[in-house]
Amino acid sequence: MSDRAGAGGRRLLVRDLAQLVTPLGTEAPLRGAALASVGVIEDAYILCEEGRIAALGPLRELGAAPREANGELEELDGRGLCAIPGLVDCHTHACFAGDRVEEFELRATGASYEQLQAAGGGILATVRATRSAGEASLKDAVRRHRGWMRRTGTTTFEGKSGYGLDLETELLSLRAIRESGGVATWLGAHAVPPEFDDADAYLDFALADVLPQAAELAVAADVFLEEGAFSVDQARRYLEACRAAGLALRLHGDQFNEQGAIGLAIELGARSVDHLEATGDGGVRALAASGVVGVLLPASALFLDRPMPPARALVDAGAPIALATDFNPGSSFCESLGVVSSLAVTQLHLTPAQALSACTVNAAHVLGLAGQVGRIAPGYKADLVLLDAPDWRYLSYHLGADLVAAVIEGGEVTWSRAAD
Ligand code: NIG
Ligand code: FE
């Protein structure tokens, strides 16, 4: 199908939908009771014009005006389908070459993720593959990964660099993500590459030589704050320089150990702190009192057989949370926000509505796209997912199912099961 997301121009009427479901309100990020507040309209229509949502409501209120107006009107039969906002994946490592299937098997027989990493595998194995891939094959890989995401209902995705860690491959990664329509994040502080003796020497290089050009391509910067990766002081230095270059800030924090990532995220006014599998009560309270979004990645915790993040405690304390896949070849080879929504309900004990808000409106906020994507409301980009299900909650209920009947981006059908 076409890759012309957002082309607009024509009008599209999706009618006879079994349900239309959207997070309510206009604010972001949602927290507390608002996180669980979604609107459901039965027997509904959605009218898209110029790539945006023009109108929606119960079909009986549609009237004749859209059909009588001048201009082309495409009609889509929504019988038996539920419309939800296009899903927003705010944390992926979609730009990589090769795979880590050998490590996957080794982990099954006892090797830990941290042991493989310490032995020069893990992230650095993917750095070697990505550096040697070449431009065409790296761009192909991102396009392929983006296609996998689209088929599972993701219409907006963030992609991080971080498997290049040299000037050429980091910039190529950011360009490849942008060319596939992604929101690019410079993960310049993912690991220390082998040509540097220590993290500080690597950061000297990354901030002097890569940041100036990365800041032209990326909207945010990210750092892996963890034992064996970057310390809190190194993360502060990196993030302060990135902020001065105009980038929004993100952190990988509390994945294996609490190292002060939440405190640093709050101190620097970061958009998000992501992972949080190791976060304790103090971190939960601090995040709840802040505007920093906790991005939860349950597919990553499942894939590595690690504890789940304290999602219920965060939500009950009033912290804003988002959900994402963490799609990457090592810790989360999963591109499906549907699967993540299932894990959010079964493992994190969120409700289906909280899970939906977390991977639409709140994820859009993390990407700086609040008010543009993540809701089915007039003026929002016409990004929709049509689920082949009698109830929208099948998104999380039907674990691992192939539920997506069609994906609409900017008012155009960009993927449909019928045409695949
Ligand atoms: O978010 N934790 C750091 N980075 C990635 C994993 C990257 C990899 O294993 O290749 C993550 O889990
Ligand atoms: Fe990650």
Which atom number of ligand 1 is nearest to the Cα of residue 187?
4
Question: What b/e string do you get for 274-292 counting C-beta neighbours within 10 Å, with b at 16 or more?
Answer: bbbbbbeeebbbbbbebeb
What is the number of alpha carbons within 13 Å of residue 273 lying toward its C-beta?
35
Residue 3, pLDDT score:
41
Mean pLDDT, residues 351-360 taken together:
98
Q: Are strands 220-224 and 293-296 parallel, antiparallel or unpaired?
A: unpaired
> 317 pLDDT exceeds 90?
yes
Residue 161, pLDDT score:
98
88-366 topology per CATH: TIM Barrel (3.20.20)
Mean pLDDT, residues 241-254 taken together:
98
Mean pLDDT, residues 36-52 taken together:
97
> 245 alpha carbon to ligand 2 midpoint, in Å?
22
> In testing the pocket of ligand 1, which one of 326, 327, 340 has its CB within 8 Å of the most ligand atoms?
326
> In testing the pocket of ligand 1, which one of 128, 160, 223, 252 has its CB within 8 Å of the most ligand atoms?
252
pLDDT tens-digit series, residues 116-141: 988 889 999 999 999 999 999 999 99
Share of the chain above pLDDT 70, in %: 98
> In testing the pocket of ligand 1, which one of 89, 90, 92, 93 has its CB within 8 Å of the most ligand atoms?
93
- Is ligand 1 within 6 A of the CB of residue 331? yes
- Is ligand 1 within 6 A of the CB of residue 283? no
Domain residue extents for the chain: 11-85+374-416, 88-366
- Is ligand 1 within 6 A of the CB of residue 121? no
CATH assignment of 11-85+374-416, among 3.40.50.720, 3.40.50.10320, 2.40.30.160, 2.30.40.10: 2.30.40.10
- Is ligand 1 within 6 A of the CB of residue 335? no
Mean pLDDT, residues 141-154 taken together:
98
Residue 9, pLDDT score:
58
Mean pLDDT, residues 355-377 taken together:
98
339 vs 155: CA distance, rounded Å: 16
> 36 alpha carbon to ligand 2 midpoint, in Å?
26
Residue nearest to atom 5 of ligand 1 (CA): 331
- Is ligand 1 within 6 A of the CB of residue 117? no
Residue nearest to atom 1 of ligand 1 (CA): 326
> 250 pLDDT exceeds 90?
yes
> 123 alpha carbon to ligand 1 midpoint, in Å?
7
Share of the chain above pLDDT 90, in %: 93
31: tokens are: 């927290």
Q: What is the mean pLDDT of the chain?
A: 96
Residue 8, pLDDT score:
41
Residue 10, pLDDT score:
84
- Is ligand 1 within 6 A of the CB of residue 300? yes
- Where is pLDDT greater, at 64 or 73? 73
Mean pLDDT, residues 100-129 taken together:
94
Residues 6+ apart with CB under 8 A from 57: 41, 44, 45
Which pLDDT band, with edges at 50, 70 and 90, does 420 fall under? confident
